[in-house]
Amino acid sequence: MKICVDRDKCTVLGVCEATAPDVFEIDDDGTLVVKTTLVDAGNRDAVEAAVTACPTEALRIGEG
């Protein structure tokens, strides 16, 4: 399972960074950086919370 970001929907509000800072980061250029696309037991809860919290529905967890 991996994290998929729809860059057309993302407005870089940073809610995901606040929810799962180990996975998401807004860099100095105002770009969303996904530090790891892999969803595993260690980050699953945080990633799922970020997917739910994203106000533009830009995040999802997909196969592969």
Number of residues lying near ligand SF4 (CB under 6 A): 14
**Max CA-CA distance within the chain?**
31
Cα(7)–Cα(42) distance, rounded to whole angstroms? Answer: 25
Residue 52 engages ligand SF4 in binding (rule: CB under 6 A):
no
Helix H or strand E encompassing 6 = none
Residue 58 engages ligand SF4 in binding (rule: CB under 6 A):
yes
Q: Which residues inside 17-46 make contact with ligand SF4, applying CB under 6 A?
A: 24, 32
Residue with token string 């799922």: 48
Binding residues for ligand SF4 (CB under 6 A): 5, 10-16, 24, 32, 54, 56, 58-59
